[in-house]
Structure 1
Amino acid sequence: MSVSIFDSFLTTPDMIAVFDDQAIVQGMFRFEEALARSQAAEGLIPEAAARAIASVCNAQLYDIPALIVAGRRAGSLAIPLVKELTRTVALYDKDSATHVHWGSTSQDVIDTAMVLATREAMRLLDTGLESLAAQLLELASRHLDTPVLARTLMQPAQVTSFGFKLAGWAAPLVRARARLREAGARALQLQLGGAVGTLAVMGGQGQAVAQRMAGQLGLRAPDAAWHTQRDEWVRLGMEVAVLTGSLGKLATDLSLMAQGEIGELAEPSGGGRGGSSAMPHKRNPVSAMIALAAATRAPQHGATLLAAMGQQHERGLGNWQAELAAWPQLFLSAHGALHALNEAFGGLHIDSARMLRNIDALHGLVFAEAASIHLAAAIGRPAAHELLETLTREAAQSERDLAGLLQEAVSADKQLAARIDLDELAALFAPVQAAAPARRLAQEQLPALRRALAS
């Protein structure tokens, strides 16, 4: 598989290699070798023919670009590949050449090759997910007591724990890893059905051949051919798309918290990373950028898989081919995002002092709800609400701190002063105390997330 310079910018060499032309063609040859050996073991073809076929099932022996060109004309890459394999076997043994690809069909070869490549792609995603989730959980445990502004509708809301926020970033990734494994266990299966999915040419031995092939290739043996039953396969693709969306959410928050005006987080810098020659004050969040690009692209590729499910009768016309082209793109995007965010969180700069300053800059207004509830216990909800509404308006207009205004109001009113403990009132405006409920929730979440990740 060749990718454009812009695709390579947004993914990793490792994932490109999984789906490159040679890898897919070698996967097709692995299918042909397993088919021949399994059929020989069941007595369907001579053992000598299986050995002859297996001896030349090596992609390096073939002109892959020429196969691709011929495949465009033939309508399937498998057609010229089988033709060249047959020709090559015939150079050594004409009788063995007659047994190449016996009883199989083009889609069997290509689907199985894509399954083999996808299995490697899944291993890369699994490793990246484990690393990123582990980093987030470690940071979460270290920042349970770090207060930070929670933001709703892009505006400051109340104070939360940064550890709780990190746990919230990690949780979808832990779930995604488990669901990818579950979906992969169902979808990563051999494809073998022959011309119309019935294995008719192999007679009663078709299922035995399939079992042997699956064992040789380390795949699940299917109950039947899934040429146009794409449900389990597409579900796996959808899990990759959902993962990419979760990475996009993480990248969105990271990029917003890294904005210069916010300055609570920053990606690693140095070595030319994220810099600007014209604007040296900038520290561009390039990892977040890559993950956001992936999240932007994934829905279209996922939609293509869904749109391609309505395949006609026993072999799809155009829709299966569209699925094949879209499939690798999901994995390229997801792994690019994972790799980029692993780099970012591996050297993330967390400015807890700036987090406090951003809280303080709101003059205590983010603590108004807690203060109102505390007052309501002493003077009733309507009176507490009215007092806080007046004082918050004054704090916003005068840029005075709400805590000071409230203490003045309580001290000036004998009835309030008799009912309200000023020390307790002041504690409500302490950021660490305000973050305590989030801290408790995170503490409850983290052990379960660690166990799920370890399993």
Structure 2
Amino acid sequence: MSVSIFDSFLTTGDMIAVFDDAAIVQAMLRFEQALAAAQAEEGVIPAAAARAIAGVCNAQLYDIPALIAASRRAGSLAIPLVKELTHTVGLYDKECAAWVHWGSTSQDVVDTAMVLATRDALALIEASLARLCDSLLALAAAHVDTPVLARTLMQPAQVTSFGWKVLGWTAPLLRARARLREAAARALRLQLGGAVGTLAVLDEHGDAVAQRVAHELGLQTADAPWHTQRDEWVRLGMEIAVLTGSLGKLATDLALMAQGEVGELAEPSGQGRGGSSAMPHKRNPVSAMIALAAAGRAPQHAAALLQAMGQQHERGLGNWQAELAEWPPLFIGAHGALQALNDAFDGLTVDTARMRANIDALQGLIFAEALSIALAAAIGRPAAHAFVETLSQRAVREGRHLAELLPEAIAAHDDLRERCDMAALQALFDPAVAAAPARRLAVRQLAQLRSQLRQEAASSTMESAR
């Protein structure tokens, strides 16, 4: 698979290599080699034929650009590949050449090759996702006590804990990680059905051959050929799209908090990273930019996969081919976003002083709800709300802090003057006090997410041992 210079800019060389033209052709040849070996073991084809086929199942022996050009006329990459494989085997043994691709069909080759490539792609996604989750959990643990502005509808709202905010980025990623594993277990299955999904040529040997092919390729067999049953496959693609969307959420917050006027976070800089061709002072959030680009494109790829599900009868006309073209970009974008965000969080600057300054600059208005609730115990909620609203308007009008105006206003209020603990009311304006509820939630969820990670790691170790 060739990608444009702009796609390359937004992803990683490792993920491009997974879906590279040579990698896909090699995966197709792996299928052909495994098929021949399985059939020989079941006595369907001569053992000599399996050996002859295996001897030339190397992508480097074939003119891949020519195969791609021929596939446009043939309607499938598998057709010219099988033709060339047959020809190459025939150069050594014409009789053995007759057994190439025995009982299989083009879609078996291509779908299984895509399963093998996708398994490699998911390994890259898993490693990058685990690294990012580890970084985020460490960041959250370091900042459970750090007050920061919470913002709703893009405006300052109240005070929260920065650690709690970070966990809000992390939890969807851990859920995505678990669901990707579940979806992969269902979707990464051998495709082997023959011409119309009945394995008619293999007759009673079909099941045994499929089991052997799957074992050779490290896959599970499917309950039945899934040539036009794309539900589990597309669900896996949807999970990649959802993951990319969650990365986009994280990148959005990162970019907003890195704005110069906010200045609470900053991506690493230096060595040309995030610079400008015109403005020497710029420190652009390039990691957030790459993740946002991926998140912006994922919905279109996901929609195309869903659109392609209505495949006709036992083999799709046009929609299967569209699905194949849309599949790699989802993974290419997701891995690019993950790598970019890992780069950002490896050297992220957290400016806690700026976080506090942004809180202090709001004249205490973000504590208005807490003040209103405290006063409601004395005069009821409607009256307390009206009192604090009037006082807030005065703070804005006079450019003064709400806490500064409060003692005078309380002293002038007949119902509040004798019924309020001024020290307790003033404590409401302490950012640490305001962030305490978020801190409690953060401590609890941090423990839960760490436990989840440990359980997943133990599960992975057990699966590897098996």
TM-score normalised over the length of structure 1: 0.99
For the 8 Å contact 2:22–2:59, the answer to whether it is kept is yes
- 2:383 aligned partner: 383
Aligned letter for 1:106? S
Aligned partners of 1:147, 1:280: CA distance in 2, in Å?
Answer: 32
1:309 aligns with 2:322: no
- 2:58 aligned partner: 58
Aligned letter for 2:209? V
Residue 411 of structure 1 deviates from its aligned partner by 3.4
- 1:402 aligned partner: 402
- 1:107 aligned partner: 107
Aligned partners of 2:310, 2:413: CA distance in 1, in Å?
Answer: 74
CA deviation profile, 1:335-363 (whole Å, cap 9, x unmatched):
00000000001111111111111111110
Aligned letter for 1:115? V
For the 8 Å contact 2:21–2:64, the answer to whether it is kept is yes
CA deviation profile, 1:205-263 (whole Å, cap 9, x unmatched):
10110001000000111111100000000000000000000000100110011111111
The answer to which of 343-352 and 375-384 deviates more is 375-384
1:292 aligns with 2:292: yes
Residue 382 of structure 1 deviates from its aligned partner by 2.7
Aligned partners of 2:407, 2:364: CA distance in 1, in Å?
Answer: 12
Aligned partners of 1:265, 1:108: CA distance in 2, in Å?
Answer: 50
Aligned partners of 1:382, 1:152: CA distance in 2, in Å?
Answer: 23
Tell me the secondary structure at the aligned position of residue 201 of structure 2: helix
Aligned partners of 1:326, 1:208: CA distance in 2, in Å?
Answer: 33
- 2:259 aligned partner: 259
Aligned partners of 2:42, 2:277: CA distance in 1, in Å?
Answer: 68
Residue 451 of structure 1 deviates from its aligned partner by 2.0
CA deviation profile, 1:37-86 (whole Å, cap 9, x unmatched):
00001100011111111111010111111111111111111011001111
For the 8 Å contact 2:378–2:415, the answer to whether it is kept is no
For the 8 Å contact 2:379–2:415, the answer to whether it is kept is no
CA-atom RMSD in angstroms: 0.9
The answer to which of 418-427 and 99-108 deviates more is 418-427
Residue 149 of structure 1 deviates from its aligned partner by 0.6
Aligned partners of 1:109, 1:103: CA distance in 2, in Å?
Answer: 11
Residue 379 of structure 1 deviates from its aligned partner by 2.4
Residue 428 of structure 1 deviates from its aligned partner by 0.2
Tell me the secondary structure at the aligned position of residue 271 of structure 1: coil
- 1:235 aligned partner: 235
- 1:2 aligned partner: 2
Tell me the secondary structure at the aligned position of residue 419 of structure 1: coil
Tell me the secondary structure at the aligned position of residue 435 of structure 1: helix
CA deviation profile, 1:110-145 (whole Å, cap 9, x unmatched):
000000000000000001111111111110011001
Aligned partners of 1:344, 1:262: CA distance in 2, in Å?
Answer: 18
1:444 aligns with 2:444: yes
Aligned partners of 2:300, 2:387: CA distance in 1, in Å?
Answer: 52
- 2:20 aligned partner: 20
- 1:88 aligned partner: 88
- 2:185 aligned partner: 185
Tell me the secondary structure at the aligned position of residue 69 of structure 1: helix
Residue 420 of structure 1 deviates from its aligned partner by 1.2
Residue 404 of structure 1 deviates from its aligned partner by 1.0
1:354 aligns with 2:354: yes
Aligned partners of 2:382, 2:232: CA distance in 1, in Å?
Answer: 57
The 4+ residue runs of structure 1 with deviation greater than 6 A are none
Aligned letter for 1:417? R
Residue 184 of structure 1 deviates from its aligned partner by 0.2
Aligned letter for 1:222? A
Tell me the secondary structure at the aligned position of residue 200 of structure 1: coil
Aligned partners of 1:407, 1:192: CA distance in 2, in Å?
Answer: 79
Aligned letter for 1:453? L
Tell me the secondary structure at the aligned position of residue 418 of structure 2: helix
- 1:175 aligned partner: 175
Aligned partners of 1:36, 1:166: CA distance in 2, in Å?
Answer: 52
Aligned partners of 1:317, 1:414: CA distance in 2, in Å?
Answer: 81
Alignment coverage as a number of residue pairs: 455
TM-score normalised over the length of structure 2: 0.96
CA deviation profile, 1:358-397 (whole Å, cap 9, x unmatched):
1111100000000011111122223312211110010111
User: Residues 140-219 of structure 1 correspond to what in structure 2 (within 5 A)?
Assistant: 140-219=140-219
Tell me the secondary structure at the aligned position of residue 214 of structure 2: helix
Aligned partners of 1:380, 1:388: CA distance in 2, in Å?
Answer: 12
Aligned letter for 1:398? E
For the 8 Å contact 2:26–2:59, the answer to whether it is kept is yes
For the 8 Å contact 2:112–2:191, the answer to whether it is kept is yes
Tell me the secondary structure at the aligned position of residue 118 of structure 2: helix
Residue 409 of structure 1 deviates from its aligned partner by 1.5
Residue 413 of structure 1 deviates from its aligned partner by 4.3
Residue 399 of structure 1 deviates from its aligned partner by 1.4
Aligned partners of 1:427, 1:314: CA distance in 2, in Å?
Answer: 71
Aligned partners of 1:389, 1:382: CA distance in 2, in Å?
Answer: 11
Aligned partners of 2:246, 2:286: CA distance in 1, in Å?
Answer: 17
Runs of at least 5 residues in structure 2 that lack an aligned partner in the other structure: 457-466
Residue 415 of structure 1 deviates from its aligned partner by 4.9
- 1:40 aligned partner: 40
Aligned letter for 2:23? A
- 1:137 aligned partner: 137
Aligned partners of 1:71, 1:120: CA distance in 2, in Å?
Answer: 25
CA deviation profile, 1:304-351 (whole Å, cap 9, x unmatched):
100000000000000000000000000000000000000001111111
Aligned partners of 2:63, 2:435: CA distance in 1, in Å?
Answer: 63
